Amino acid sequence: MKEFFAHETAVLDEGCQIGEKTKIWHFCHVMPEAVIGRNCVLGQNVMVANRVIIGDNVKIQNNVSIYEGVICEDDVFLGPSMVFTNVINPRAFIERKQEFRQTLVRQGASIGANATIVCGHTIGRYALIGAGAVVTHDVPDYALITGTPGRQTGWVSEYGCRLTFDADGIATCSKSGQKYLLKNNEAKRIE
């Protein structure tokens, strides 16, 4: 008995692992060595390649391809038509599979619609990548990245609200009341 839902048009290759309560919608393709956690949602036309690892509670919107080398931790959001790469200098006539670079999307990070993540980088915990941004470097925890090329333009809370730090480096999320500390250009949640 299947513990997940897959639309009849989805292609699930033998050997893929899919967690309970996950929903896989129209025209998705999950390759044989892919691992998808519990309670995930794969929107229409999502491709998950071999050796990709998707954590629990990940939401993947329509038209996203997740190539080999990508790891998404729990609670990640991948916006519509965002793009991952896995080779720095692809050529159709040169085989470069041995050059795949790992991309790690840490817990709670969100990547906006049509953003591009160049391979070989880490997107920090609860970071927010704005729609259309092009990420070409590692992104710190709680960072807000916008533009092309992507630049840090602020900090966000776990709720995704913009943080304004006072002279002591303290900020409070306007939605949750959670407090954050900014020290040495690193943000972290404090109790």
pLDDT at 2 over 80: no
* 3-7 mean pLDDT: 97
pLDDT value of position 44:
98
The fraction of the chain above a pLDDT of 90, given in percent, is 94
Instruction: Report yes or no: 113 and 79 within 8 Å, Cβ to Cβ.
Output: yes
pLDDT value of position 1:
57
- 5-158: CATH superfamily: Hexapeptide repeat proteins (2.160.10.10)
- Please enumerate in sequence order all residues whose Cβ is within 8 A of that of 96, keeping only pairs 6 or more positions apart, or say none: 87, 89, 90
Cα separation of 165 and 48, whole Å? 39
Instruction: Find residue 143's DSSP bridge partners.
Output: 155
Instruction: Count the alpha carbons within 13 Å of 54 in the hemisphere toward its beta carbon.
Output: 33
The fraction of the chain above a pLDDT of 70, given in percent, is 99
